[in-house]
Amino acid sequence: PIRRITVPDIAGRKAQTPIVALTAYTAPMAAMVDPHAEVILVGDSLGMVIHGLPSTIGVTLDMMILHGQAVMRGSQRAMVVIDMPFGSYEESPEQAFRNAARVMAETGAGAVKLEGGTRMADTIAFLTQRGIPVMGHIGLTPQATNTMGGFKTQGRDDATWPAHIADARAVQQAGAFSLVVEGVMEELAVKITEAVTIPTIGIGASARCDGQILVLDDMLGLSGRVPRFVRKFGDLGPRAENAIAEYAQAVRDRSFPAAEQTYR
């Protein structure tokens, strides 16, 4: 049996070869990602990508657990990290522990991820001291969309940089084993990466982070509009649409099913 990549494996990847991370929400997608990535994130982006929600705000703990179970079944090598959804951890360290413990116990995943720097440090410490590894997430934090008034690149004003760097240090100090840095000015991402000894995983950040993550559906070309920081490594959306159109045509002209698809 293949050994799963562990939290110490990832924590040890500071300034090494970059950590490859991608999201996945289903067993077959996790199986495709598994041989190529060290980390599979079951991101709360699944609310938008899979469930058609307008933001991540409506994602529930039960949704995260259901998709987390599917991704664990589909993978064997990568470390699986599961996002704590909005409302499941912000109230108190105790609330966060109760819900994160459910995620860990019901999915078997390796770690949870939660958004917030300095403001979440006490909660991160409470979890890590009690056996729940935490991946941090700072910079652009999508669960704060309503207070931010949308998704805004962080650090355009360099007067804000010390606060972002303090966030990174607080997350590390609280015991997180790695840190997602999302949607920040490139130079700030480099400064954050240099400010901490835990690996940073960038998205819309910098190639000089210790790893990169993208939303799988975005990089496969399965999403519609994507942020500027996404590179479309594939074009599966239009290809799927063509296949569906050809099926519809074949049904209508009775060329499907043909001899090969019928029992005689």
Partner that binds at residue 193, options Na ion, ligand KIV, none, CB closer than 5 to 8 Å by kind: none
Binding string to ligand KIV for residues 68 to 107, with x set by CB under 6 A, is what?
---------------x------------------------
From ligand KIV, Na ion, none, interface partner of 110 (C-beta below 5 to 8 A by class): none
Helix locations, the chain, DSSP H: 7-11, 27-33, 46-49, 61-74, 93-107, 121-128, 145-148, 161-173, 186-195, 216-219, 236-252
Beta carbon of residue 16, minimum distance to ligand KIV (angstroms, whole number): 20
The SS3 of residue 205 is coil
Q: Could you report how far apart the first and last alpha carbons of the chain are, in Å?
A: 43
Among 45, 99, 123, 193, binds ligand KIV (CB under 6 A): 45
Q: Count of alpha carbons within 13 Å of 8, Cβ hemisphere only?
A: 0
Establish if 59 lies at the interface with ligand KIV (CB under 6 A): no
From CA 68, how far away is CA 104, in angstroms rounded? 9
Least Å distance between CB 67 and ligand KIV?
11
CA gap 203, 220 in Å, rounded = 16
CB under 6 A: which stretch of 3-11, 25-33, 37-45, 161-169 binds ligand KIV? 37-45
Which 3 state secondary structure label does DSSP give 111? strand
**Per-residue binder mask for ligand KIV (CB under 6 A), 189-218, x = binder:** --------------x---------x-x---
Min separation Cβ 203 and ligand KIV, Å: 5
Stretch that binds ligand KIV, among 1-9, 38-46, 155-163, 187-195 (CB under 6 A): 38-46
Residue 98 Cβ vs ligand KIV, minimum distance, rounded to whole Å: 22
**Among residues 43 and 110, whose Cβ is nearest to ligand KIV?**
43
38 C-beta neighbours (distance < 10 Å), count: 19
The single-letter DSSP state of residue 95 is H
Of 36-55, binders to Na ion (CB under 5 A) are 43-44
Long-range contacts of 45-48 (CB under 8 A, 24+ apart): 45/83, 45/142, 45/215, 47/85
Residue 73 CB partners (closer than 8 Å, separation 6+): 27, 30
Q: Which stretch binds ligand KIV (CB under 6 A): 11-19, 36-44, 64-72, 163-171?
A: 36-44
Residues assigned a catalytic role: 182
> Does 158 show up as a binding residue in the annotation?
no
The verdict on 44 binding ligand KIV (CB under 6 A) reads: yes
Q: Which helix (H) or strand (E) holds 42?
A: strand 39-42
Name the site residues for ligand KIV (rule: CB under 6 A): 23, 41, 43-45, 83, 180, 182, 203, 213, 215
Name the site residues for Na ion (rule: CB under 5 A): 43-44, 83
